[in-house]
Structure 1
Amino acid sequence: MNGNDGTRVQVTLRVHRFTPRPEREHTRSGSPFAKQGSPFGSGTARRRPRGKQWVQDYALTVLPDTTILDCLLNIKRTQDPSLAFRYSCGHGMCGSDAVAVNGTPTLLCTAKVKDWAVRQHAQNTVDTDGFRKTAEAGTATDTADEASGANPSDAGDDAPLIVELAALPGFPVQRDLIADIDPMLDQIKRLQPYLQADGVLATTKDGKIDVFEYLQRPEQLAAYETLSNCIACGVCEGSCPVFAGGEAFIGPAALITASRFINDSRDTAADARMDAIDTADGIAACQSVRACSRHCPRGIDVGEEIWQLIAKVKER
């Protein structure tokens, strides 16, 4: 699919939608026999919302270079104003529009139609005995055909182009493509994501404040500079098979935040920070799958950074 010749293509956005059920007013605070903090009592445990789920298709004619975010904005303005999704800057800097595109966590504003649209082959997926064919799952990408030795052109150029969208995995869905990322932000806050210096102002020989107190050498800056690019989008969390809303694993985003300050030569709380993550739901829960590194929009090798952090914690 060439995005430079000005030719428009027809594409279908297949959106997994969700509308939450209205909250019922509870006249009782919970069972008197429930333990404190139990999700069945008066604790603050987060429950996944219940509601209506369905899949809805939206057809568009766009340029191949069009971003998925622009496609959704077009749909919202011209077809369905009820479609819900989150975005802010639109330039891959805020991280607010992370979703699953064709099952892969990424940012809507950086994902382009030409990179994510796949052709759905018109194939019969049920054999004569009534069993579903496991080798032909209803949809197949041209890339998958090439890997299997099939000719992608067999499907014909008129096979529909599909982009499948769902809310970011690993988090409760609030509505349509909007996931509740508060569990991730809460985990980051737990690790005190701000510089902690000793608070003592250095002075020069004549008693004046030393304005060069916190100057760093290039190698000191390089130790954490890449990590400071994290935008807390949740893509690494959605890719992680261990993370599930921050309940059993603190998550790669929080660990990257901790590593950013542990590696900062100006910070004096490194030992306390390492104590905070050296727990059963901290680095001990990481299985080193490194799926978190695959699609980081800021180019951070999250898995490698976490591996280095684990080594640093264990060697202290």
Structure 2
Amino acid sequence: MSGMDDALTTVTLKVNRFTPRPERDRGARGGSPFAKKSGSPFGGSSSRNRRPHGKQWVQEYTLRVRPEDTVLDCLLTVKRTVDPTLAFRYSCGHGMCGSDAVSINGTPTLLCTATVADWAVRPNPLAQADDEGFRHTGDADDAAANAHEDDSGLGVIELAPLPGFPVQRDLIADIDPMLDQIRKLKPYLQADGVLATTSEGKVDVFEYLQNPQQLAKYEMLTNCIACGVCEGSCPVFAGGDAFIGPAALIAASRFVNDSRDTATASRLDAIDTADGVAACQSVRACSRQCPRGIDVGEEMWQIVARVKER
């Protein structure tokens, strides 16, 4: 038991919290006739990055943890033993559902795959300011030695809701705008409805069989769990501009690359708009933290090239 206690250390969670203010019933007054309206079918800042109205504050929780614990483990401990009012979302807890995407230290990722050891940040002892706001300019070795003596644990982890989406409460973001964009692109197999037949007039049961090369073209894209990490990382989407977003384009690319789908032309037409592939700036930030290993930036480049080359 003592050995287990020795393995524990401390970490401080700095959680950006938010409690929404009840919306007022504006009756029949409606909105302002001078309000800017977005003509994009994929939405823009008016539908996604609305300024939340309510109480906002940062709350700190210091816990005894193991370095290999996940940030989700820490939040569950807070919820169960410290503060039951803390709100966050999760489901499977194993990186398969994508429901627990948040911003950790400014980077969109999943709570259940982020370990404390990987994300805790130690304060820089040379950047500490005194009460009057001035940084001490003592010897660097002395400062480092003092920091070692005053070991305060693994450090600090800052948590915030997923960027680019309206905040519902604390760490819970409303990802419905992303799911609506995916639905608009009809994320399901579309065939012509005509059954192939053999020379004997029987139904050809091998009509939709694929060879390994055909399967490989889209198989990786089926791993997308629509967590929103790529969209929260995208400076165009998270910045509030009208943009279909990388998640929807990945869903479209999955069927464009499927040899069994017969709606390629209409799919490419749907994303060949100013707010579709044309809005992508090829920053490739969407690839950095994909929990399913999809090179989102490369797939975005491929679908953009496909649209331009047709």
Give the alignment partner of residue 65 of structure 2, picking from 42, 59, 62: 62
Gap change, CA 1:33 and 1:72, over 3 Å in 2: closer
Whether 1:92 and 2:80 are equivalent positions in the alignment is no
Deviations 1:121-180 (A, max 9, x none): 35565589x6777xx9xxxxxxxxxxxxx9976632614511111000111111100011
8 Å CA contact 1:120, 1:159 repeated in 2: no
How many residue pairs get matched? 294
**Corresponding residue number in structure 2 for 1:147:** none
- Measure, in 2, the Cα distance between the counterparts of 1:107 and 1:31: 37
Give percent identity, aligned residues only: 70
**Bigger fraction of residues in helix:** 2
Query: What RMSD in Å do the two structures reach over aligned CA positions?
Result: 2.8
Cα drift, residue 244 of structure 1: 3.3
CA contact (8 A) 2:236 2:280 kept: yes
- Which blocks of at least 5 consecutive residues in structure 1 are unaligned? 40-44, 137-149
Distance 2:31 2:248 in 1: 34
Q: Whose relative contact order is higher, 1 or 2, with alpha carbons under 8 Å and at least 6 apart? A: 2
The answer on whether the counterparts of 2:285 and 2:297 sit within 8 Å (CA) in structure 1 is yes
Q: 1:142 maps to what in 2?
A: none
CA distance in 1, matches of 2:190, 2:249: 17
* Contact 2:231–2:247, Cα closer than 8 Å, also in 1: yes
User: 2:215 is paired with a residue of what secondary structure?
Assistant: helix
> Structure 1-normalised TM-score?
0.85
Distance 2:303 2:6 in 1: 47
> How do 1:153-164 residues align onto structure 2 when only pairs under 5 Å count?
155-156=147-148, 158-160=151-153, 161-164=155-158
Q: How many Å separate the matches in 2 of 1:116 and 1:21?
A: 32
Against the structure 1 CA distance between its residues 119 and 31, is the aligned structure 2 distance closer, same or farther, given a 3 Å change threshold?
A: closer
Question: What TM-score do you get using the length of structure 2 for normalisation?
Answer: 0.86
Matched ranges for 1:197-216 at <5 A: 197-216=191-210
Matching residue of 2:54: 51
For 1:6 and 1:203, locate their aligned partners in 2 and report how far apart those are by CA, in whole Å: 70
Q: CA deviation at 1:118?
A: 1.4
Distance 1:315 1:57, change over 3 A: same
Among candidates 206, 222, 225, match of residue 219 of structure 2: 225
Query: In 2, distance between residues paired with 1:5 and 1:276?
Result: 58
Q: 1:37: Cα distance to partner?
A: 6.2
Change (3 A) 1:38 1:263: closer
**Which residues of 2 match residues 12-51 of structure 1 at below 5 A?**
12-30=12-30, 33=33, 46=47, 47-51=50-54
Q: Is the 8 A contact 2:125 2:143 kept in 1?
A: no
Distance 1:234 1:203, change over 3 A: same
Unmatched 5+ stretches in structure 2: 40-45
Aligned counterpart, 1:268: 262
Structure 1 pair 309–231 and aligned structure 2 pair: CA distance change class (3 A): same
- Secondary structure of 1:203's aligned partner: coil
> Is 1:172 the counterpart of 2:166 in the alignment?
yes
**Deviations for 1:270-308, whole angstroms, at most 9, x for unmatched residues?**
111111111101111100000000000000000011101
